[in-house]
Amino acid sequence: MNRKGIFLARFLLLGVCAFLIARIGYIPHADEVSPQKMICVLPINDSKNEVDKGVFFDTFQDALSYIGELKKNGKFPEKGIKIVLRKGEHKISDSIVFKKEHSGEEGKPIIITAEDKTESTISGGIQIKNFKKLSEEEHTGRIKKEILEKLYVADLKEYGLKSLPPLKLGGHGSLELRQKDRGYKGYTAFRYVEVFFNGQAMTLAKYPNDSFLHVAGIEGETAERLPGFSTMTNVKIKVDNCPLTNWTKEPNILLHGYWHYDWSDSYENVSAIDPDKGEIELANSASAYGYKAGARFYALNLLCELDQSGEWYLDRQNMLLYFYPPAPMDKAQIEFSWFEGPMFVFENASHIYIEGLHFKLGSGNLIEIL
Ligand SMILES: [Ca+2]
């Protein structure tokens, strides 16, 4: 998630000012304290409540540039530096990248922390406030008529969002992940956007709502795509009593199943559906352990199956978010985790500590160390 820069631009600001006078010869005046500046850089010393002696910046990048300059000019403080985030929510739209020139040193760390006794949060999300009731005219033909009046739609383009991470998920039995790491000890996290209603994660539109489908039969070819695993290719799943006709209009269906062993899951992309034959063709046949009749699965990411409160669907092409709220919308806080991250990158950097901060609404990794 670096990226990504689009819009929600910079960290909010709220705060004040300058480095220790003795260190840099700058005496901030109270009037210079901007209530919007939120990131303070100051030397580590033994005293408490030292923040008002710091130098304040609008963005993390500005703070890092400042630290780079201190190091370059031989003015890095003898006990190191604190980067203090003042109280509030800091929106992030680009990764914060620490390089060698932003490193601490032995006995001179860089500590990234919250101002004493306050809650500082770095957020990769947006609060969605432009939901509208879906009108008959906006009906896509994929939405169930009886559910139409319950639905809201928000245009995410109004928040500057132009693209999102692809909808791709792995699972314990993901062939792709096991091809990279056969033992699969390093469970890979995928970037995944989510909708939160008053802090609760909502459900990507699915079918069935509260149970599983079961594989009625399998067609496909055995193929040794990974030695020691029962991999297949060109797999078609047969299902009974499934509303496949509606699904043919859905552009990006995911099937989440325990395809062979009931303890190992993977996500399958769908490439074609034949309602007459009751068949679903898988795009990648992504299960490392193969498939068997009776295996349980459910389908995700279908607008035509958005029919239970708490479900949402994102039309990625038009950046429209459809939502069936679980409670009245008037005073609800609805958030969307879009920032792909990572929030922090440490690239050949060292002697840096993060403490006391809150993070929320990232859709990818929080930290990457290169
Ligand atoms: Ca549903």
Reduced 3-state DSSP string for 32-70: HCCCCECEEEEECCCCCCCHHHCEEECCHHHHHHHHHHH
Choose between 166 and 98: higher pLDDT.
98
- Predicted confidence at residue 47, as pLDDT, reads 63
Residues 161 and 258 reside in one and the same domain = yes
The top-scoring range by mean pLDDT among 32-36, 44-48, 92-96 is 92-96
261 and 289: one domain?
Answer: yes
In a domain, 1, yes or no: no
Residues 268 and 346 in one domain: no
DSSP-assigned states of every residue in 70-101:
HHHTT---TT-EEEEEPSEEEE-SS-EEE-GG
Is residue 11 one of the residues assigned to a domain?
A: no
Our count of domains for the chain comes to 2
**What digits encode the pLDDT tens for the residues 263-317?**
999 999 999 999 999 999 999 999 999 999 999 999 999 999 999 999 999 999 9
Q: How far is the CA of 9 from the centre of ligand 1 (A)?
A: 35
Enclosing domain of residue 72: 21-124+340-369
Q: Yes or no: say if 98 and 346 are a contact pair by the CB < 8 Å rule.
A: yes
**302 CA distance to ligand 1 middle (Å):** 8
What is the CA(137)–ligand 1 centre distance, in A? 22
Taking the centre of ligand 1 as the mean of its atom positions, its distance from the CA of residue 308, in whole angstroms, is 5
Band of residue 84 on the pLDDT scale cut at 50, 70, 90: very high
Q: How many Å lie between the centroid of ligand 1 and the Cα of residue 309?
A: 9
User: Do 136 and 91 share a structural domain?
Assistant: no
- pLDDT category of residue 139 using cuts at 50, 70 and 90: confident
SS3 254: strand
What is the rounded CA–CA span in Å between residue 311 and residue 340?
22
Q: Are residues 34 and 175 in the same domain?
A: no
pTM of the model: 0.83
User: Is residue 206 scored above 90 in pLDDT?
Assistant: yes
State in Å: Cα 312 to ligand 1 middle.
Answer: 9
245 and 327 both lie in a single domain: yes
Mean pLDDT, the chain, as a whole number?
86
Dist. CA 69–CA 101, nearest whole Å: 9
Question: Does residue 32 fall inside a structural domain?
Answer: yes
Distance (Å) from CA 156 to ligand 1 centroid: 22
Model pLDDT, residue 49: 60
Classified as helix, coil or strand, 284 is coil
Instruction: Judge whether 14 lies within some domain.
Output: no
DSSP class of residue 287? B
Whether the Cβ atoms of residue 133 and residue 147 lie closer than 8 Å to each other: no
**Of residues 162 and 143, more confidently modeled:** 143
- Does residue 129 sit in the same domain as residue 93? no
Task: Enumerate residues 6+ apart whose C-beta is below 8 A from 290.
Answer: 222, 229, 230, 231, 232, 259, 260
Q: Is residue 30 part of a domain?
A: yes
Q: At residue 20, does pLDDT exceed 50?
A: no
Is residue 8 over pLDDT 50?
A: no
Is 178 part of a structural domain of the chain?
Answer: yes
How many A from CA of 311 to the centre of ligand 1? 7
* Percentage of the chain lying above the pLDDT 70 cut: 88
For residues 144 and 97, state if they share a domain. Answer: no
Same domain for 204 and 130: yes
Distance CA 7, CA 93 (A): 7
HSE, side-chain direction, 13 A CA sphere, residue 70: 25
Per-residue pLDDT tens over the stretch 305-320: 999 999 999 999 999 9
pLDDT at 34 over 70: no
d(CA 346, CA 369): 5
| 318 and 240 assigned to the same domain | yes
Ligand 1: centre distance to CA 126 (Å): 25
Is the predicted pLDDT of residue 100 greater than 80, yes or no?
yes
* Domain presence at residue 325: yes
Tokens of 135: 């009108």
**In a shared domain, residues 179 and 251:** yes
pLDDT of residue 46: 60
Mean pLDDT of 170-187: 83
User: b/e per residue, 202-226, with b = 16+ CB within 10 A?
Assistant: bbbbbbeeeeebebeebebeeeebe
Show the beta-strand stretches assigned E in 105-231.
110-114, 120-123, 125-127, 132-133, 152-155, 194-197, 200-201, 203-204, 206-207, 213-214, 217-222
Average pLDDT rounded to a whole number, residues 245-266: 96
Q: Which distant-in-sequence residues (6+ apart) come within 8 Å of 134 by Cβ?
A: 143, 148, 149, 151, 152, 153, 322
pLDDT of residue 117: 74
Binning the chain into helix, strand and coil, the percentages to the nearest 5 are 15, 30, 55
What was the pLDDT predicted at 155?
Answer: 94
pLDDT, position 18:
26
Peptide bond into 275 cis (omega under 30): no
The predicted pLDDT at position 215 comes to 98
The answer to whether residues 347 and 303 belong to one domain is: no
Cα 246 to middle of ligand 1, angstroms: 13
Asked whether residue 217 is domain-assigned, the answer is yes
The pair of three-digit structure tokens given for residue 71, joined into one six-digit string: 């190091």
What is the pLDDT confidence band of residue 186, given thresholds at 50, 70 and 90?
low
**Contact of 322 with 306, CB cutoff 8 Å:** yes
Question: Cα(58)–Cα(86) distance, rounded to whole angstroms?
Answer: 11
- Would the pLDDT of 9 be above 70? no
